[in-house]
Amino acid sequence: MSLFDKYDQVAARHDRLVAAGRDPFNICMDRIVSATEAIVDGREVILVGTNNYLGLTFDQDCVDAAVAAVKREGTGTTGSRIANGTYSSHRALEQEIADFLGRRSALVFPTGYQANLGILAGLAGSKDVILLDADSHASIYDGCRLSGATLIRFRHNSPADLDKRLSRLKDKEGGKLVVVEGIYSMLGDQAPLDEFVDVKRRHGVELLVDEAHSLGVFGENGRGIAESAGVEEDVDYVVGTFSKSLGAVGGFGASDQPAFERLRYTSRPYMFTASSSPSSIATAMATLGKIKSGPHLRKQLWDNARMLYQGLTDLGFTICAETSPIVAVKMPGEAAAVFMWNALLEAGVYVNLALPPGTPDGSCLLRCSLSAAHTPAQVTKVCDVFDQCFQALRSWQDAQSAAE
């Protein structure tokens, strides 16, 4: 028996997806043209699935900052933060993040995934309980498992269910940590954070908010859902990533807790991995400066998001959440979703294909994410291509029915 035999069913499903067209999980961008365009299989494609919310990956100031950092500090650190991997730039970025969020301190990680691993595994232990939203990202689940804490899921975006589960734990010893996301990456729906804060206060527990997809997007200053909801003082821990709005690679955790700095010598995912490259740190520093400079990028992003949401809604598509930079189009089934995804790419529009079990409620989705860098003409073209491809889908479905 092979160690890979357990993947036979998954591999068979993958083979069926590939047989229907391209491999949706192995698309190669032959060349990146801009924040919103690429060449795929020799064809120009509008990118509507990159999470590049503020479109800063080609911003000249940010590119120049990354190039200067490579020339000044080299291509990599070759060491962990507890060895030779802490540069003055790492500490400077941590201070900038803490200041931006109004927090006492911040820790920087090489990826957003590791930020969740490091913060969750560092905060909770075997005698503690973590209560997390059932639709939480895989990195949150993995961080919870790594912590060894008791893991309790509550219904997605349900403060009432969280309240009920916390009531059952009132006599249990150990710390209790509630984990939610600001905006959920698959559907683009927002956490009712003010209501979660009410539950948190009643039970005297701590709250962690993952602002990965909301940092730079929500709030008057771009600090995320907590700022937008006016509850920043009630959020004990903030986790985020550089790979969305900040256009780099890395992640962070931040807090006002005086003991938070202890994670530097107790959190294994922080201690035992090489630190972020100088170019990633410099890029994050530069893009953070762009967010702090004013709301113009957020305004353009939201204008584009509303335009796509309205355009697809007018065409009769079902959108899974209210307007946000994530516009998830619900398809009637896997075959229809796969056909549409291939047709869209063939027509020059790249979106994310999202299928069960990686989606909430077993939904089959075409997930779009908007950018401040998209032009109105590009958004209009995306809507037109969706319409054309849907007409092709209906013809294909009619042919399939006739063949049966």
Provide the CB-side half-sphere exposure for 290 (13 A, CA): 28
Of the listed 137, 176, 200, 213, which one is catalytic? 213
Tokens representing 345 are: 């790419």
Biggest CA–CA distance in the chain, Å, is 68
Among residues 277, 295, 233, the alpha carbon closest in space to that of 93 is found at 277
244 catalytic per annotation: yes
Q: Alpha-carbon dihedral of residues 244, 246, 247, 249, nearest 10 degrees? A: -80
Catalytic residue (one of 90, 137, 244, 374): 244
Task: Please list, in sequence order, all residues whose beta carbon lies within 8 angstroms of the beta carbon of residue 169, skipping any fewer than 6 positions away.
Answer: 129, 152, 176
CA distances, 99 to each of 41, 286, 340, 361 (Å): 44, 15, 45, 39
Q: Pairing state of beta strands 237-241 and 206-210?
A: parallel
Task: Give dist(CA 364, CA 382) in Å, integer.
Answer: 19
Q: Which neighbouring-strand residues pair with 45?
A: 38
Known catalytic residue at 213: yes
- Strands (E) in 6-128, as ranges, are 31-34, 37-40, 43-47, 105-109
Helix ranges (H only) for 293-362 are 296-314, 334-346
- Catalytic annotation on 167? no
Mutual angle of helices 376-403 and 296-314, in 10-degree steps: 30
Instruction: Find the catalytic residue in 147, 185, 369, 371.
Output: 185
Q: Tell me the two tokens of residue 185.
A: 């990456």
Q: From CA 200, how far away is CA 197, in angstroms rounded?
A: 5
Question: Are 332 and 369 spatial neighbours (Cβ–Cβ below 8 Å)?
Answer: no
Sequence letter at residue 111: T
Nearest to 114, CA basis, from 287, 284, 253, 278:
253
Task: Supply the residues annotated as catalytic.
Answer: 185, 213, 244
